[in-house]
Amino acid sequence: MKKARTSSDARKKALPAKSGTSKKQIIVSDLIDVAEAQAIAAGTHSDPFSILGGHKKKAGYVVCAFDPGAERMAVLTGKRTVTEMLPVPDAPGVFVGKLARKANYRLRGEAGETQWTHEDAYRYGPVLGELDLHLISEGSHRQLWQALGAHVSVHERTNGTHFSVWAPNVMRVSVVGDFNHWDGRRHPMRCRGRSGVWEIFLPDVGEGAVYKYQIIDEHGNQLPLKADPVGFGAEHPPQTGSVVRDLMKFGWADDAWMNRRGDAQKNSAAISIYEVHLGSWRRVPQNGDRRISYLEAAQQLVDYVLDMGFTHIELMPVSEFPFDGSWGYQPVGMYAPTIRFGPLDEFRALVDTAHARGLGVLIDWVPGHFPTDAHGLASFNGSALYEHKDPREGFHQDWNTLIYNYGRSEVANFLIANALYWLREHHVDGLRVDAVASMLYRDYSRKEGEWVPNKHGGRENLEAIDLLKRMNEVVYAECQGIMTAAEESTSFPDVTKPTDHGGLGFGFKWNMGWMNDTLDYIQQDPIHRKYHHYKMTFGIQYAFSENFILPISHDEVVHGKGSMLSKMPGNEWEKFSNLRTYYGFMWTHPGKKLLFMGCEFAQSAEWNHDVSLDWHLLDYDLHRGVQSLVRDLNGLYRDTAALHVKDSEASGFQWLDLYSEDESVFAFARFGLPDDPPVVTICNFAPVERQNWRIGFPKSGRWQLVLNSDARVYGGSGRDQAEIILTEDQQWHECPQSAALTLPPLSTLVFKFEQ
């Protein structure tokens, strides 16, 4: 009867001598601690790099490998040298072998008749240096994306991808994907001390590989698989994996634009922005009504924006996001251009093409909150890491989203580096920062008792304020010629004042007050407008307190607010005339311009993110007329210094007719530099003609009519209007000279001084 082998006997199982080993039999227990091998097989070892790979030990140079799919394994060195490995008892998939000396090697696995070879990830040293780790821990790594994320690279003469993620206070982090059968035991990462950073270099993994991180928290709980917070690509929703993208291979050709964009984006420049939701700007009905791609947008959108005379395209958020209905304002992949329109380099091609044509590209940036999706930042390490633990600080009740913990240095670093990433790696020309008001105030949209005061007992979010200041300081210092703009809906002071003068440091601020007041006015029946006259004039009282952009954005044509055209009172002709008059007022009023797509041709229906704009409306004269007006307004604004050079200076504006509320008439003058011809705008917001209406002019002489919103080419009545007027020596509106005009009903007239 054969004696049963004991556990002790098993541990002493000998490895027969093969090529590359000594003639003496090798005992497993001499090569590896079986308990540690079992922890490797179970995926619970806290330091797999201390076991796996090659290590110099008393027994010699020992190689340990883990492959749960292998029945046999061998170490290959040189062209023909093969060292068979010994399976470790009670540790399925763990194999050990001894080499005569330290050497580069590959692993060969076998199962049945199948055989495969691969590089051993655990024979490679770390990639990140101590400086990277120090800066990450300190929260001051300006190029954070170069340290974290998935980088296609060559490490120790081997092609592969370096994965790195910040996940402090956890037991284990593994990178998983198709390349390892989504098995977290196969590639647990190297923990880099107290930094909370985990990294691993995976040979032979390249661009296009799908991956996530499997995290075991400090209590031993396996978390939902996480997408890479600094991943540069993502799968198509509803799939949620990250995708390896090579940041280094794109060849930019926009040096000319990058060198001159500072002049195109300074406060004295003409800036007219076309806001775009790429998913619904134009679709392809011949192909299942699909969205256009980045590459198609590089042709179609760029051509259209140039034809319309806008200076900039502003893209609603392009950071990867899970839910189409959020329009991108709940991003989950802050470093990944959304795959909805193509991969990363195709987004860059859109930017590069726009620059080649002289257009700036802005993107909406969302540092105010993030969604609760399990694969995202929420409870990333099993606890509140990116967010606040207390929901009174960390949960947005309006949007069911989480608020970043701006006071945590690593989180602030994550956001500031992200701003730099878009500006440097993707050459975007500026960031429009979303929902700034929700960041500035701890009691934003909260009742008493639902928020936590700051350390001084106040409502200001001091940490968020500091973040915004530092972000602006960093991006303006490191990225020549860029611009930042704040969507800030309160009267928070000094948003566009430099930080060293106590401001937030933004380049521009959306003028939400002007937008709300003027839209309320224009929606009134003309007979009632005299009671709301001040809403068109009040904005000038604060127009020069900040560097303002006048926004008619997507928010004004959604959620039951109707389209711009549908806001207008009256019959069809009056609706279009009201809208044209309003646009004339807007384009000649102090402030840069922003118009949401579709508003430029008077889209009839409210914006729907699921369908294309109604381009067929351009078959109709009235819609085409509004489009022509916007095109000409952009040209006039761009080519007339008085309309933009002093957008933020009181000396660039003068009221001429301020008090004609009963007649709903407004008149004002705009000025540029001393040699720039001034401009006079007269708006008649009543549906009746005003004859012999006297207007004071700031200069004596000839004034040319350069725009009439009532012209037939725009769909107006085409009433006769003098192309040239001569002022008379009759004092009016505090001007020593004036002229009597005929004001068409619902019209804007713009005159430019000739001599």
Q: How big is the CA angle at 296 (ends 294 and 301), to the nearest 5 degrees?
A: 90
Q: How big is the CA angle at 509 (ends 507 and 513), to the nearest 5 degrees?
A: 165
- CA separation (Å) from 224 to 44, 190, 295, 380, 636? 17, 20, 35, 9, 56
- CA separation (Å) from 645 to 29, 158, 538? 81, 56, 22
DSSP 104: -
Cβ count within 10 A of residue 112: 7
The position carrying tokens 């070879």 is: 117
Alpha-carbon distance 568 to 438, whole Å? Answer: 31
Measured torsion, CA atoms of residues 458, 461, 463, 468, in degrees rounded to the nearest 10? -140
Smallest CA-to-CA distance from 209 within 183, 187, 234 is with: 234
Is-contact 560 601, C-beta < 8 A? no
Is 352 an active-site residue? no
Is-contact 569 524, C-beta < 8 A? yes
Cβ count within 10 A of residue 18: 15
- As a residue count, the chain comes to 755
Alpha-carbon distance 446 to 453, whole Å? Answer: 12
Smallest CA-to-CA distance from 319 within 395, 213, 223, 425 is with: 425
Q: How big is the CA angle at 524 (ends 521 and 527), to the nearest 5 degrees?
A: 115
Residue 358, both tokens: 């002289």
Which residues make Cβ contacts (< 8 Å) with residue 614, sequence separation at least 6? Answer: 598, 603, 604, 605
Is 487 an active-site residue? yes
430 forms beta bridges with: 362, 483
Alpha-carbon distance 214 to 241, whole Å? Answer: 12
Cβ count within 10 A of residue 217: 18
Direct distance between the N- and C-terminal alpha carbons of the chain, in angstroms, rounded to an integer: 121
Cβ count within 10 A of residue 337: 28
* DSSP letters for 292-343: PPHHHHHHHHHHHHHHHT-SEEEESP-EE-S-GGGTTSS-SEEEEE-GGG--
Helix (H) / strand (E) containing 486: strand 483-486
Is-contact 91 127, C-beta < 8 A? no
Sign, CA dihedral 730-735-741-746, equals: negative
Is-contact 147 163, C-beta < 8 A? no
Smallest CA-to-CA distance from 754 within 714, 715, 697 is with: 697
Smallest CA-to-CA distance from 234 within 208, 213, 200 is with: 208
Local structure of 178: helix, strand or coil: helix
- CA separation (Å) from 349 to 294, 296, 508, 564? 8, 10, 27, 32
Please list the active-site residues: 434, 487
